[in-house]
């Protein structure tokens, strides 16, 4: 309990570095002891002074530095991506469940900004001696994330990397799920990890069930409190901020009728997901 209270206290941190990753996507590094000990898949509540507080996946954590990778989609993310080295942010966390290493050969699939927490996961997989195939899907070449980092992991540690784009401007012209289906028909995997839009998660879940492979997926929901109070992140019997954001196959089976179909809005009302 003391650990949770400590994590939930707002801490003011100074931006150490801002790195452009892709079109409208930046990684913001800062020094924070709690965040630097986070596990792959956990998230922070990030307060942009004078604007808003938003949930963001942790994209790296090492030594005393941690980072979040942010795509500009609204007022808060736009303000965050305009901040510079030396700027101040408020953070709470890390919160939530995390990816767990399962087996020795993993298929990791990221869609768009959903790739953010998966780079940290892949580094952990490789550091523990597992083999991994990483599929990253994006709409177009300008939206590919972590190209240099993933290429370096391929060269140094043998990570198999497959890039897909909807328009064929980089890598293979296909959906990430289509590339995953091809991989699953050609090779044996012990586990599947995923983060991205729920339409993608649903398709991968069906593939995992078909091939009888355990799956872990990070889900995105509206999160305002990170403590399970507001109810905006409810899916089935779970609260994503506390029970997730990472869910395993057994949990995904329990919420499969809502997965990719419904979410809660800011008023807590159950509404259809627009994919």
Identify the DSSP state of 23. T
Structure pTM? Answer: 0.93
Whole-number mean pLDDT of the chain?
92
Place of tokens 């303000």: 79
* 152 vs 176: CA distance, rounded Å: 21
One-character DSSP codes across 216-273: EEE-----SSSSS-S-TTEETTEEHHHH-SEEEHHHHHHTTTTTTTEEE-TTS-EEE-
* 71 vs 112: CA distance, rounded Å: 9
* Per-residue pLDDT band at 2 (split at 50, 70, 90): very low
User: For the residues 131-157, what does the mean pLDDT come to?
Assistant: 95
Architecture of the structural domain at 105-272? 3-Layer(aba) Sandwich (3.40)
Residue 160: per-residue pLDDT: 97
User: For the residues 116-121, what does the mean pLDDT come to?
Assistant: 95
Q: Which of 228, 250, 275, 268 is nearest to 102 (CA)?
A: 250
Tokens of residue 25, six digits: 């996507």
CA 179 to centroid of chain Cα atoms: 19
First and final C-alpha spacing in the chain: 38
pLDDT tens-place string over residues 86-113: 999 999 999 999 999 999 999 999 999 9
Question: Does residue 224 carry a pLDDT above 90?
Answer: no
- Extended strands (E) in 112-233: 131-138, 160-165, 172-173, 191-195, 215-218
Architecture of the structural domain at 2-95? Beta Barrel (2.40)
In residues, how long is the chain? 275
* 114 vs 111: CA distance, rounded Å: 5
pLDDT tens-place string over residues 50-63: 999 999 999 999 88
Looking at the chain, which residues constitute the CATH 2.40.30.10 domain(s)?
Answer: 2-95
Q: Which of 235, 197, 241, 189 is nearest to 213 (CA)?
A: 189
């Amino acid at each position: 309990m003391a650990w949770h209270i400590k994590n939930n206290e707002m801490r003011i941190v100074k931006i150490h570095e801002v790195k452009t990753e892709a079109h409208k996507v930046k990684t913001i590094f800062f020094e924070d002891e709690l965040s630097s000990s986070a596990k792959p898949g956990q998230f922070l509540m990030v307060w942009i002074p004078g604007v808003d507080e938003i949930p963001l996946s942790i994209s790296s954590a090492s030594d005393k530095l941690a980072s979040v990778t942010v795509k500009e989609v609204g007022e808060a993310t736009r303000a965050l991506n305009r901040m510079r080295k030396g700027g101040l942010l408020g953070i709470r966390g890390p919160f939530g469940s995390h990816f767990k290493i399962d087996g020795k050969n993993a298929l990791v699939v990221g869609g768009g900004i959903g790739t953010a927490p998966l780079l940290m996961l892949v580094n952990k997989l490789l550091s523990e001696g597992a083999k991994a195939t990483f599929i990253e899907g994006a709409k177009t070449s300008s939206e590919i994330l972590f190209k240099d980092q993933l290429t370096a992991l391929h060269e140094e540690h043998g990570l198999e990397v497959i890039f897909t784009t909807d328009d064929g401007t980089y890598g293979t012209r296909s959906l990430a799920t289509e590339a995953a289906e091809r991989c699953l028909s050609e090779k044996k995997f012990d586990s599947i990890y995923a983060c991205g839009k729920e339409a993608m998660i649903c398709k991968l879940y069906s593939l995992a069930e078909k091939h009888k492979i355990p799956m872990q997926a990070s889900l995105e929901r509206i999160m305002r409190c990170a403590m399970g109070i507001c109810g905006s992140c409810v899916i089935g019997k779970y609260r994503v901020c506390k029970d997730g954001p990472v869910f395993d196959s057994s949990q995904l089976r329990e919420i499969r009728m809502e997965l990719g179909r419904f979410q809660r809005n800011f008023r807590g009302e159950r509404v259809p997901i627009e994919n």
